[in-house]
Amino acid sequence: MSEGFNNNEFTSEPSQQSSNSYPYSFEQPFDAQQQPFAAQPQPSAPVPEQKKKSGKAGKIVALLLACALVGGGSGFGAAALMQKNAAAQPQSTTQASSDASVMLEAKRQAAALQVASVDTGKVLTPSEVYAQNVNSTVGITTSITTNYFGYQTTSAAAGSGFILTQDGYILTNYHVVEGSNSITVTTYDGTSYDAQLIGYDESNDIAVLKIDATDLTPVVLGDSDTLNVGDTVVAIGNPLGELTFSLTTGVVSALDRPVTLSTGTTMNLIQTDCAINSGNSGGALFNLYGEVIGITNAKYSSSGSSSEASIDNIGFAIPIDQVRSIFESIITNGYIVKPYIGVTVSDVSSESQSYGLPQGAAVRSVTENGPAAEAGLQENDIITAVNGETITGSNDLVKLVKASAAGDTLELTVYRQGQTTTLTLTVGEQKTDALPAQTTDQNQQSQQGYYDGGQSDNQFGGSWPFGFGFGG
């Protein structure tokens, strides 16, 4: 590794699944025990929470509500960002593992900023979006048994999800079900089902569940690439695990926001000012056509360490197009196929740039016989552009590779020893099991009281783009 490069690295080569970790810090704002989901709940208004003093530093927190039943809880470590398939193009329907497993997808053209509505589809009010989709959303509760120093504890957690197919495939966040002994899905009519974890992609924080049910009402999957900043969006979820099937509204505050979480993992997310709280994890974010365009998964939270005002209305959602091909592959194939290029890169430090090195993604290592090696990429090269699009750092390269598919050709502009050259790279394929064997082993250990939380090494560095630090 050459000097002058910082530690903001990512691995785009194939890697083993980490030991069941999740790269977010968790907040537990309430000490109440887990309450069961109820049909069409009418919760009493909670006592307003007193504003807490907060510090200048803040943190990204996941939206899972975890309530200790006996005491203790799972540990959460960092996970490396891995490359994935480009999102599938919208179609009228998508065939899943059987004729019954059909995911509905919208087929509309993107609205230009100056256009009031799109070519097809009806713009709904938030109340109409809710009425149309609340039966397609679910509450999720899990139990986790852990053993610390011989003391066995059981904890419960609550999250959200939504129905993908009539025959019971459910999408949620991976961190909602990570390490769980049992998973229960509750629909809007109050019916509870035991759920099976079908597969997950930890690096993209999604999990697919299956319940034994028929004639469910699935959501319609929209196109997150058609979103504009300022578009109205609607979230339906289960904040605090008690205020079930709640609706909040807001707008898209930013698109493709590179959010570096407290453990260093970076995700490109939709930023929204919808009220998003613990328990909203895995819930659907809808546009005003009643289509799912995101999966709520994190929020920006103050540290609570000084007299600064608390931070509100900075929530995040995973764009549906970013993970569409992944959950479709889990359902249809039982495995995940992602693109990879076989390099480890970092940002070029400002100090190095002051000595004449360009901005870009600096190559720190090249996998032998991988796509990058075959293209002629070398250690210490700096990738400054891909297919003519400027690369200012490692996150730009991550984004472009994630948007590609195995077999795609990428034209790399590379700075090497004072000269610029062009290399042609063919994107490779990485296939991973949607439900690794270690998950079964871990669940068996968890049932026996020996699940240790599954820590892993952090392969990322970096900072929030506005200079805020993230708490633990």
CA distance 455 to 37: 31
Q: What are phi and psi of 470, to 5 degrees?
A: -105, 135
12, 74, 136, 281: the active-site residue? 281
CA distance 272 to 274: 5
Provide the β-strand partners of residue 73: none
Length of the chain measured in residues? 472
Tokens at 151, concatenated: 């003391």
Given the structure tokens 């120093």, which residue do they identify?
149
Given a contact cutoff of 8 angstroms between Cβ atoms, the answer to whether 238 and 281 are in contact is no
12, 54, 155, 175: the active-site residue? 175
Given a contact cutoff of 8 angstroms between Cβ atoms, the answer to whether 446 and 145 are in contact is yes
Given a contact cutoff of 8 angstroms between Cβ atoms, the answer to whether 160 and 172 are in contact is yes
CB atoms within 10 A of CB 249: 19
Q: Does the annotation count 205 as an active-site position?
A: yes
Given a contact cutoff of 8 angstroms between Cβ atoms, the answer to whether 415 and 357 are in contact is yes
Q: Does the annotation count 354 as an active-site position?
A: no
Given a contact cutoff of 8 angstroms between Cβ atoms, the answer to whether 195 and 131 are in contact is no
- The residue type at 280: N
Q: Which residues of 282-305 are buried (b: 16+ CB within 10 A; e: fewer)?
A: bbbbbbbbbbbbbbbbbbbbbbbe
Q: What SS3 state is found at 243?
A: coil
Q: Which residues of 97-109 are buried (b: 16+ CB within 10 A; e: fewer)?
A: beeebbbbbbebe
Q: β-strands 58-62, 25-26: how paired?
A: parallel
What torsion do the CA atoms of 290, 296, 293, 227 make, to the nearest 10 degrees? 110
167, 201, 205, 231: the active-site residue? 205
CB atoms within 10 A of CB 444: 12
CB atoms within 10 A of CB 7: 15
Q: Does the annotation count 404 as an active-site position?
A: no
Residue 28 C-alpha from the chain's centroid: 20
Tokens at 304, concatenated: 């609570």
Catalytically active residues are: 175, 205, 281
